[in-house]
Amino acid sequence: GFATAIFVPVARAALAEYYPLRKGEKISTFTSATIVGRGIAPFMGGFILSFTLWNYHMVYLAVGLFGTISLIIGLILSRQIGDERNLNPVDRPREKKTGRLGLDGFKIVLRNSSIFVASVTEAAVRYVYGALEFFFVGYLKNIAQLDPSLIGIIMGMQLVLIPIVNPFMGRLSDKIGRNIPILGGLALGGASLLAIPHTTQFFPLLIISIVFGLGFSMVISSAPALVGDLANKEAYGAAMGFLATIMDIGQMAGPIFTGFIMVSFGYTGSFFSLGAVLMGVCVLFGIYRLQMRGHSNLKTKRDQV
């Protein structure tokens, strides 16, 4: 847990620093790689257990081996892609340290309402994704009564689509800005969720799954890059750490609160609530970004005067 909490925000911050004009593409590629790794791991573990007749020692030896290989690769790459300051740590001038354990950077992030809004937006999408991942299978099995193979196709389509589309959506956000992909992704995701209770047929549900996966990719490929755009270079790590924290809280809370809604209102109420969350966040995010653009234009005019 600590390893993941340390690695992911720092890696995203490093990408935002190394590629200031291509944050969306590079962070999205990194996100896709993590999704692919998480997707392969259960299959690899199951294959090892099957091949070794349920020898868990071999599974964790394999995990340790991959972890060690990752460490070695990381050490090699850090020497190759490090800038001059990292390559010559002895010769570089000492910088004045501010804050305690990076608390100053975290305070800067908390004071930046735009970073908070962008983080909450991704947290909302993760909230919905966590709930959908948990309850959509139940709907397909109990309400739509689809064959397990068809359920696998519908759910698997998202797992395949998201990591493939992510880098392209990130590159798109680098070219046209972050607002349009985020707003479009929220709208697509919300509309697809609201449509779920109205069909039990395979092909409409497959299309819904694809549309939601596309919308989800549009948001998660643009929101971290937006946070990188809004944060100062010195606060990249704190900003990405805050994003990761609130994102995980959202994904954890999704199944819990949706479960309570499920008890009272069933699948229809649950999917309606998830769609309403995305639509509501879409409206609020759009209003906030328009207000911020208005303030920015007004400030520019005052400076010119």
The CA dihedral of 112, 115, 120, 122, to the nearest 10 degrees, is: 180
The whole-number pLDDT of residue 82 equals: 59
pLDDT at 217 over 90: yes
pLDDT confidence bin for 83, thresholds 50/70/90: low
Query: What residue type is 180 in one-letter code?
Result: I
pLDDT confidence bin for 98, thresholds 50/70/90: very low
Average pLDDT of every residue of the chain: 86
Over residues 275-287, the pLDDT tens digits come to 999 999 999 999 9
At 268, phi and psi to the nearest 5? -60, -50
pLDDT at 118 over 50: yes
Q: What is the mean pLDDT of residues 71-93?
A: 64
Please spell the DSSP secondary structure of the chain, one letter per residue.
-HHHHHHHHHHHHHHHHH-TT-HHHHHHHHHHHHHHHHHHHHHHHHHHHHHTTS-HHHHHHHHHHHHHHHHHHHHHHHHHH--HHHH-TTTSPPPPP-SSTTHHHHHHHHH-HHHHHHHHHHHHHHHHHHHHHHHHHHIIIIIS---HHHHHHHHHHHHHHHHHHHHHHHHHHHHH-SHHHHHHHHHHHHHHHHHGGG---HHHHHHHHHHHHHHHHHHHHHHHHHHHHHS-GGGHHHHHHHHHHHHHHHHHHHHHHHHHHHHHHHHHHHHHHHHHHHHHHHHHHHHHHHHHHHHHHHHHHHHH-
pLDDT confidence bin for 101, thresholds 50/70/90: very low
User: pTM higher than 0.95 for the full model?
Assistant: no
Over residues 119-147, the pLDDT tens digits come to 999 999 999 999 999 999 999 999 999 99
| Selection from 115, 121, 232, 251 nearest residue 186 by Cα | 121
Long-range contacts of 13-21 (CB under 8 A, 24+ apart): 13/228, 13/236, 13/237, 13/239, 13/240, 16/225, 16/228, 16/231, 16/236, 16/240, 17/233, 17/236, 18/81, 21/174
pLDDT at 116 over 60: yes
The whole-number pLDDT of residue 252 equals: 93
Over residues 244-281, the pLDDT tens digits come to 889 999 999 999 999 999 999 999 999 999 999 999 99
Q: Which two tokens stand for residue 81?
A: 């892609």
The whole-number pLDDT of residue 25 equals: 93
Rounded distance, CA 192 to CA 133, Å?
Answer: 14
Share of the chain above pLDDT 70, in %: 87
pLDDT at 167 over 80: yes
CATH superfamily of the domain spanning 2-54+104-304: MFS general substrate transporter like domains (1.20.1250.20)
Over residues 37-62, the pLDDT tens digits come to 888 888 888 889 888 888 999 999 99
Place of tokens 């925000």: 9
Q: What is the mean pLDDT of residues 20-46?
A: 89
Q: What is the mean pLDDT of residues 100-112?
A: 67
